[in-house]
Amino acid sequence: FPHWPLWSELIGIQTRRNINTHFNQQIPIEVVDTNHPITQGVSNWTLTDETYEMNSPRPEDGNQLLLTTSYQPSMSGIAWTRTFGKSRVFCYQSGHDSDTFQDYSTLSTRGNNSLLNTSSRVLTNDAEDKIFNINAFLTKKLKKKGRTLSLNLSQSVTDNKTDGYLNSANSFYNLNGVLDSITNVNQYKVNSIKNNVFKSNLAYTEPLSKTLTVVLNYGLTLSNGRSDRKSFNQSLPGRYDVLDTEFSNDYQLDQIINSGGAIFNYKKGKSVLNVGSKFSGVNFKQEDLYNQVRYDRKFVNYMPQAMYQYNFSQQKSFRINYNGNTQQPNLEQIQPIRVNTDPLNITLGNPDLRPSFRSSLNASYNSYKVLSSQSIYISGYYSFTNNPIVSN
């Protein structure tokens, strides 16, 4: 789609660095650990009404005043856990209803302090969120010492529905700071976003020698998502029944991910070394239901990892590790719809987005003195991303 004038995603490189130091000294505390072969628990909660206000700082190119008020009438959920030895089943469900009112006023100026534009907009939304998660982790020790088989299964379902109004007045000024034009937006918006994700991972551990172990794993991920977003203009005052196709779209994204890999664990003396990698084949099935256009894309992802740890003693160690991770574009980022909730900064999804790859390197030193309960922790972190997925 090279003719599209606006893209919300760009290609580049991002870097991040972080260094942490930590010193801690405390009074010794006795900790009692009780294990039960079978445990289960159920919890539920409800949050009461909540409101908040926020003011944002002024941007470099002008003045901005932001007032946000949110009303959250209820949020409740229930969690259930059952454990069998080293196997566990966890279930979580929650619901969330909210009404929000947001009032924005902005003023932007040029370098010579002449007016560029002014904007005022009001957003109201009535939202309903439903979340359901279930996770099961099963593990079994086999006859040979160190040989194990484990299976992790999870299912996640989210359903988000919102409807509300956008009212905006925007004024634009010429180079002399004189009013040039005014645009008004008055729309009713209805959004429905659903996601259903199933993940499974099977891992097999095989000791090759007294010092070397290999972990083989295979994973399958099935993901189905749909985003139906509609904007309506008025045919008569107060009657919003004219669909604005420029700011409306119904999009379906289905993903199938097959992954497999191996990790070698070496442990001898005071040294521990882990080296391995995982490969995954990704199938994207994208369908623009408004325009009856379908895209089928395939990717091969590579995720290496390595870790080395040297234990000076039981209380003192040094560790360094590297991880490479791939991030897939999500439904919101690839849906080709113009989002005008901020009329001065309209974004457009890019259905041709490719995955990004992030490399991260961590190093840490930890020392703990039992008698004095004194600890020292020093860590450093560096990362960079190829082909990052960003909003413009």
Query: Which amino acid is present at 149?
Result: L
- Kindly compute the dihedral angle of the four CA atoms of residues 294, 300, 301, 304, in this order, to the nearest 10 degrees: 180
* pLDDT for 224: 96
* pLDDT for 49: 38
Determine the length of the chain. Answer: 392
Please state, rounded to an integer, the average pLDDT across all residues of the chain: 82
* pLDDT for 6: 38
3-state secondary structure of 230: strand
274-to-6, 83, 263, 379 alpha-carbon distances in Å? 45, 29, 7, 19
Q: What is the pLDDT of residues 137-161, one digit of tens each?
A: 989 999 889 899 999 999 999 999 9
Phi, psi for residue 334 in degrees, rounded to 5: -105, -10
Considering 11-15, 75-79, 164-168, 311-315, the range whose residues carry the highest mean pLDDT is 164-168
- Kindly compute the dihedral angle of the four CA atoms of residues 162, 9, 338, 230, in this order, to the nearest 10 degrees: -30
Residue 354 pLDDT more than 80? yes
* pLDDT for 117: 93
The end-to-end CA distance of the chain, in Å, is 17
d(CA 133, CA 127): 20
* pLDDT for 76: 57
The beta strand positions in the chain, using DSSP E, are: 13-25, 38-47, 62-84, 87-109, 115-141, 148-173, 179-207, 212-236, 239-243, 249-268, 271-288, 293-313, 316-327, 338-339, 347-348, 356-369, 374-386
* pLDDT for 88: 72
b or e along 2-11 (b: 16 or more beta carbons within 10 Å of the residue's beta carbon)?
Answer: eeeeebbbee
- Residue 90 pLDDT grade (very low, low, confident, very high; cuts 50, 70, 90): confident
Residue 55 pLDDT more than 80? no
d(CA 286, CA 294): 6
Residue 341 pLDDT more than 60? yes
Q: What is the pLDDT of residues 183-206, one digit of tens each?
A: 999 999 999 999 999 999 999 999
Residue 35 pLDDT more than 70? no
Q: Could you tell me the two tokens for 241? A: 């029944």
**Structural domain boundaries in the chain:** 13-386
Longest dimension (CA), the chain: 84
Least confident of 236-240, 354-358, 376-380, 387-391: 387-391
Residue 51 pLDDT more than 80? no
* pLDDT for 174: 93
Q: What is the pLDDT of residues 213-254, one digit of tens each?
A: 999 999 999 999 999 999 999 999 999 999 999 999 999 999
- Averaged pLDDT for residues 318-324: 96
- Averaged pLDDT for residues 306-319: 94
- The residue with tokens 């719809």 is 337
Residue 33 pLDDT more than 50? no
b or e along 265-276 (b: 16 or more beta carbons within 10 Å of the residue's beta carbon)?
Answer: beeeeeebbbeb
DSSP state of 237: T
The beta strand positions in 289-315, using DSSP E, are: 293-313
- Residue 80 pLDDT grade (very low, low, confident, very high; cuts 50, 70, 90): low
- Residue 91 pLDDT grade (very low, low, confident, very high; cuts 50, 70, 90): confident
- Averaged pLDDT for residues 28-48: 38
